[in-house]
Amino acid sequence: MSSSKNYRSAFIIVTVLFFLWGFITVLVDSLIPRLKDVFELSNFQAVLVQFAFFGAFFIFSVPAGWLLSKIGYQKGIVLGLAVMAIGCVLFSPAASERIFTLFLLGYFILAAGITILQVAANPYVAVLGSEDGASSRLNLSQAFNSLGTAIAPIIGASFLLSDTIMSSEAISKLSEEAQNEYYINEASAVSGPFLILAASIAVLALVFIAIKLPKILEKSPKDGYIKLLSNKYVLMGVLGIFLYVGSEVAIGSFLVLYFMDMNLAEIISENGILNSFASYIISKDISNVDAKAIVGAFVFLYWTGAMVGRFVGSYLTQLIKPAKVLSIFASLAILMIIVSVSSIGVLSMFAILAVGLFNSIMFPTIFTLTLEGLGDLKPQASGLLCMAIVGGAIIPPLYGLLADNVGFKIAFILIIACYGYILFFGYKKQKIKSLA
């Protein structure tokens, strides 16, 4: 009874971390327009921010898994938080001195901390209780991660993007003194919130040092990665995470352009309900708003669907075998894409937005299904799975390349193939369960 209570308390505490890294990850995205101003970036330089993020996952995931197998989950969480705090602190001198490479370094370090945290927290939640309930628990924790990603844009808009960002042309017309004052204010707008975040993360790290989490990892396995790389189901799970993250990011990244390609802005403007919805989200009359902003108002439904779906999925995976839920959701994602590419207008838009709902349980469910039966190899397996998040940097450019050559709708064949593999993975895991 007391062990169950300890597990429940530990689960609540660790779930706070899921909210934290979801919030910070998306908050940094809100910085991009202001960073382009502060550092006077080209579009190419702005894109380097995303490469810094995904690059950290690729580089640090496997070493983090090895390190966790040596020091345990709790020390790994403290280390991840400490690294994140250092990354946030670096934003201040980077903004004040307007050194873009220092900002990239800070973001890379922040992402490295998030990587360590992911590698530690995901398997820890998975083992805080019975293996049968692992998918349900991780779906619930990931739902709070999605809650963080939903709140961050609001905070970003209020505190990072609330004032007017001047164009380079407008800045050039200012006096030298006025330009310096403007850049100082811009630097303050960037560094202030992240210094507060750094302090908050440092306090949270101290909390994790002080509390006593249940110790679940008993030993450090030898030749862990060799054993994992010879396990075909682990490799299948790693590929599943790679394809899932890549597909989710590809759809989210190209939604606005896909909607523009179908001239949806005009349809939305002429539809009373959709017009009112867009106006409410943008907080202004859309008659004087750029077409991209009009269709962009609906993109948040894609990510909100993922959050809602994870709360629902946490309940569903208690009633139905997680592998079966995964297969069903992958099938429905494929169906929604087929409906979208074979239709036009509002139906096409809402069908592709619905994919976000069915994406919801995929990451945590693939993760926990891959960890099943691995015992003390779980931290290292988690490292391999988190490394596969680099799919978010690989699949979207491939989709973009296809879209440039054959159009957005036909390019979705690539995304359907990715979900097809996830459906296959869920089916294979169901067969293993039924034979057990």
Instruction: Check residue 330 and give its pLDDT.
Output: 97
Q: Which residue has the tokens 């990510």?
A: 303
132-170 pLDDT tens trace: 788 888 888 888 888 887 777 666 655 554 455 565 667
221-436 folds as: Growth Hormone; Chain: A; (1.20.1250)
| Minimum mean pLDDT range among 120-124, 369-373, 383-387 | 120-124
| Helix residue ranges per DSSP H, 283-406 | 291-296, 300-319, 322-341, 345-359, 362-371, 378-387, 391-406
**C-alpha distances in Å from residue 359, one per residue of 34, 247, 314:** 30, 9, 13
Q: What residue spans define the domains of the chain?
A: 1-215, 221-436
Residue-wise pLDDT tens digits, 399-410? 989 998 999 999
Q: Which residues contact 405 (CB under 8 A, 6 or more apart)?
A: none
Greater model confidence, 32 or 246: 246
Give the pLDDT mean for 98-121.
87
- Model pTM score: 0.80
**What per-residue confidence (pLDDT) applies to 220?**
57
- Residue 382: what residue type? S
- DSSP codes of every residue in 34-53: HHHHHTT--HHHHHHHHHHH
The residue ranking higher by pLDDT, 190 or 387, is: 387
Q: What's the mean pLDDT in 108-133?
A: 85
Residue 435 has pLDDT above 50, yes or no: no
The pLDDT of residue 378 is above 90: no
pLDDT at 226: 81
Average pLDDT over residues 376-390: 86
Nearest to 332 by CA among 422, 431, 243: 422
Q: What is the mean pLDDT of the chain?
A: 82
pLDDT in tens, 289-339: 667 777 777 877 888 888 899 899 888 988 999 999 999 999 999 999 999
User: Is the pLDDT at 350 greater than 90, yes or no?
Assistant: yes
C-alpha distance from residue 168 to each of 34, 171, 358, 395 (Å):
12, 5, 42, 33
CA distances from 104 to 48, 55, 107 (A): 8, 11, 5
- 359 pLDDT exceeds 80? yes
Mean pLDDT computed over 116-132: 82
CATH 3.40.50.2300 fits 1-215, yes or no: no
CATH topology agreement for domains 1-215 and 221-436: yes
Res. 433: pLDDT tops 70:
no
Top-confidence range, 168-172, 178-182, 253-257: 253-257
